[in-house]
Structure 1
Amino acid sequence: MDANSRNRWFLDPGPLSSWIDQFADDLAAQRYTPLTIEGYTASARHFAAWLGCAGISIDLIDDDVVRRFAEHRCRCPGRRQWLRISPKYSRRARRFVVFLQKEGVARPPLKVASPYPLLDDYQSWLRVHRGLAERTIARHLRHLHKLLPELGTPTLDYDAALIRNVVREWRERTGPADLRTITSALRSYLRFLAGVGLCRPNLDHAIPPVLQWRLSSLPRYLAAADVERVIASCDQLTRGRLRDRAILLLLARLGLRAGDVAGLRLSDIEWTSGMLRLSGKARRQVRLPLPQDVGDALLAYIEQERPRMHQEAVFLTMIAPYRSFAQSSHVSTIVALALKRAGISDPPSTGACLLRHSAATSMLRSGATLEAVGTVLRHRSLDMTAHYAKVDAAMLEQVAQPWPGELPC
């Protein structure tokens, strides 16, 4: 009898035995390897046996029970003598509990009532009416949770003096960059309250501005040869080579944002017309022409490397469970690793925006107009696009005026 059989014999999961088998089937459907599935089911079997020893029924399983399992001094059957369950082991048991909750076997987790119920309506307003990304919504809520204890909950009592005082206090606690995002969240919240009649109108104008030099810095970009080195570095990969190449080409040729790439759907690629449909900031939808090399790279990834999963997202993780990118920062991580593989030791930055800036600079140097570049980058203001003209010395020489010399008094 092997070790696994002995453990199964000594660890009696009781009434949860059939659910452990279904848990294993669920993991297999998500393309987990047999070795990983065995690790998860072993933890689930141990957790189920501990429940029986502790006299805890299935309908009483909650987060506190999982915590007690993680902290118990193990004397369970199977000759275990553990002072404490490892964090990885307890996380696998928690995953089993989440599966039970999803199947309706264990009771769902309790929802903690928010001390600021208006934030639920505000969150829906941002999502439905403002079209903000989930990451931006989460950042606004995070800042408001810091501000509301000082503002108070009686919103009808808000006035300009209170708003200014709160902003002044935060100016002493944080830097200009963080203060800008805080005042942006507060300004948005006051507009929401005024729109639903819960505070005086125009209170958002009472927020003092955070002074800054707009577009004062030079854009960070790579030379065209370095961009090609970054793309070619994907050939060094044994896993994810086609996926990363397609992502880098989308960034470098079309100047997409990281969020655009992470949110790209299979239905967004119009193969017949050779167009790419994008939903940018505030849900503004545009269609961009798909260059030949980008289309070829996308097709090669989808046909040869993309996991065969019923997922609408184009780009998936390469390790089970195969999911879409949870955050756009995953795209920036792919860029950072490609820069390292390409031997670019001191890049101006390491995020996805580096290739976006490089694409804009390259288009301007190739003779494209500011309006054309702004259309591709989906800028709302031409001033944003003109920012990239600073690095084109040849263009600036054509418009620079000669030095007037000494002027008479």
Structure 2
Amino acid sequence: MMKPSKTQAREELKAEYRTYLSRQRGLTDKTVYKYSILVDRFLDFRFGESPDDLSKVTGHDIADFLQHLTGRVQPLRDKTLATTMRSLFRFLFQSEKIEANLALGIPSVAQRYARRIPYHLTPDQVEELLEAVRASAPSKYAKRNYAMVLLMARLGLRSPEIIAMQLDDVDWRNGEISIRGKGGFRDKAPLLQDTGEAIADYIRHERKGASRCLFVANRSPYRPFKDAKVLNTILTQALETTNISRPKQYTVSHILRHSLATNLVQRGASLEEISNTLRHRSRQTTLLYARQDIDGLRTIAQSWPLAEGGLS
């Protein structure tokens, strides 16, 4: 019996891995595809043109690969690299393709790009962008666009959270909004007056269709949006009509969330208040915004000693 070629063996391995991710791990098709792509990247990195030999893979190989991806001038922007690699090597061990469970030794990867201060807008720029959203959209869905973006500006909601909102998530009597957050978490946020008025204006005068989703397309049959790309498009188009400097493309959908956090810091809000507002699960995420309070940091900075021993 002929030994399968490198390409054939690789494809069989990936097919088996995809089945494992889907059936045993219960991951979505999108996540399965993302995870399986890393198989090619790692094996190409480790073996190049040589035949794949999983028995030769070591922990050092994995560490070198992760360093390769994150240590470049433009590092791979993926916070789940270590998780993905652990999943791969857990599968290889459980399926007896390798003898040692290398997944146990894979450390978390430091995300150097997160050290950068997020791009943000001043309060005046936020209001300018909100007006631009309302003015730049065609009249038949200007109210919808404005209400969606206002939720981002006032409550720091993420784009997918806005798209996922249902009509029943707005509690008009108690003045609250239920948010379907990351990881299946459900949170409550206050329904601020201007935000509530914008949503009500949209529902009364513009929204159509029988869908229970709050925000829907403005063409028959008025279906919910498939993904959150619509908000990125809305913000990008609105920014083009202003004098606001353009952020990098990947930050557009988070621009108002970052701006809300930054402006809260500069108004004296505590990190706990910011964490609660943005519904962070990790305090480390909130600490990123502490760097925005330059004046506050100056008050705790130590004086720099001069060469003569004096203080500046």
**By how many angstroms is 1:265 displaced?**
1.9
Partner of 2:159: 258
Q: Is the 8 A contact 1:164 1:208 kept in 2?
A: no
Q: Secondary structure at the match of 2:189?
A: strand
Q: Secondary structure at the match of 2:179?
A: strand
Q: Is the 8 A contact 1:167 1:183 kept in 2?
A: no
Q: Distance in 2 between matches of 1:258 and 1:198?
A: 41
Q: Distance in 1 between matches of 2:245 and 2:133?
A: 19
1:402 equivalent in alignment to 2:303: yes
**By how many angstroms is 1:140 displaced?**
2.6
1:340 to 203, 224, 240: 240
Letter of the aligned partner of 2:57 in structure 1?
A
Partner of 1:286: 187
Q: How does 1:145-294 map to 2 (within 5 A)?
A: 161=57, 164-165=60-61, 168=64, 175=72, 176-177=75-76, 182-191=81-90, 202-207=101-106, 212-213=111-112, 215-236=114-135, 237=137, 238-294=139-195
Partner of 2:223: 323
**By how many angstroms is 1:304 displaced?**
1.6
What CA deviation, in whole Å up to 9, does each residue of 1:199-246 have, x standing for no partner? Answer: 767522444765553632111101111110111123323221011101
Q: How does 1:116-155 map to 2 (within 5 A)?
A: 116-123=15-22, 126-127=25-26, 135-136=30-31, 138-144=33-39
Say which structure, 1 or 2, has more relative contact order (CA 8 Å, 6+ apart): 2
Q: Distance in 1 between matches of 2:198 and 2:134?
A: 13
Alignment coverage as a number of residue pairs: 286
Letter of the aligned partner of 1:227 in structure 2?
V
**By how many angstroms is 1:362 displaced?**
1.4
Q: Distance in 2 between matches of 1:377 and 1:197?
A: 43
Q: Is the 8 A contact 2:156 2:278 kept in 1?
A: yes
Q: Secondary structure at the match of 2:302?
A: coil
**By how many angstroms is 1:371 displaced?**
0.5
Q: Distance in 2 between matches of 1:160 and 1:282?
A: 36
**By how many angstroms is 1:388 displaced?**
1.3
Q: Is the 8 A contact 2:144 2:206 kept in 1?
A: yes
Q: CA 1:330–1:143 in 2, change beyond 3 Å: closer, same or farther? A: farther
1:353 equivalent in alignment to 2:254: yes
Q: Distance in 2 between matches of 1:115 and 1:135?
A: 15
Partner of 1:43: none
1:308 to 209, 232, 237: 209
What CA deviation, in whole Å up to 9, does each residue of 1:55-85 have, x standing for no partner? Answer: xxxxxxxxxxxxxxxxxxxxxxxxxxxxxxx
**By how many angstroms is 1:158 displaced?**
5.7
Partner of 2:265: 364
TM-score if structure 2 supplies the norm length?
0.75
**By how many angstroms is 1:298 displaced?**
1.3
What CA deviation, in whole Å up to 9, does each residue of 1:259-303 have, x standing for no partner? Answer: 111222222222222212223222122211121111111121122
**Structure 2, unaligned runs of 5 or more:** 1-11, 47-52
Q: Distance in 2 between matches of 1:251 and 1:119?
A: 36
Q: Secondary structure at the match of 2:177?
A: strand
What CA deviation, in whole Å up to 9, does each residue of 1:154-176 have, x standing for no partner? Answer: xxx96683565477568768953
Q: Distance in 1 between matches of 2:240 and 2:179?
A: 29
What CA deviation, in whole Å up to 9, does each residue of 1:328-350 have, x standing for no partner? Answer: 22221111112123x13523345
**Structure 1, unaligned runs of 5 or more:** 1-112, 152-156
Q: Distance in 2 between matches of 1:205 and 1:170?
A: 15
Identity of aligned residues (%): 28
Q: Distance in 1 between matches of 2:247 and 2:58?
A: 42
TM-score if structure 1 supplies the norm length?
0.59
Q: Distance in 2 between matches of 1:302 and 1:199?
A: 58
Q: Distance in 2 between matches of 1:371 and 1:325?
A: 33
Q: Distance in 2 between matches of 1:270 and 1:134?
A: 34
Q: Is the 8 A contact 2:66 2:109 kept in 1?
A: no
Q: Distance in 1 between matches of 2:127 and 2:225?
A: 25
What CA deviation, in whole Å up to 9, does each residue of 1:309-345 have, x standing for no partner? Answer: 3x2322112234432222222221111112123x135
**By how many angstroms is 1:254 displaced?**
0.9
Q: CA 1:367–1:166 in 2, change beyond 3 Å: closer, same or farther? A: closer
Q: Distance in 1 between matches of 2:301 and 2:100?
A: 47
**By how many angstroms is 1:247 displaced?**
1.0
Q: Is the 8 A contact 1:140 1:182 kept in 2?
A: no
**By how many angstroms is 1:381 displaced?**
2.3
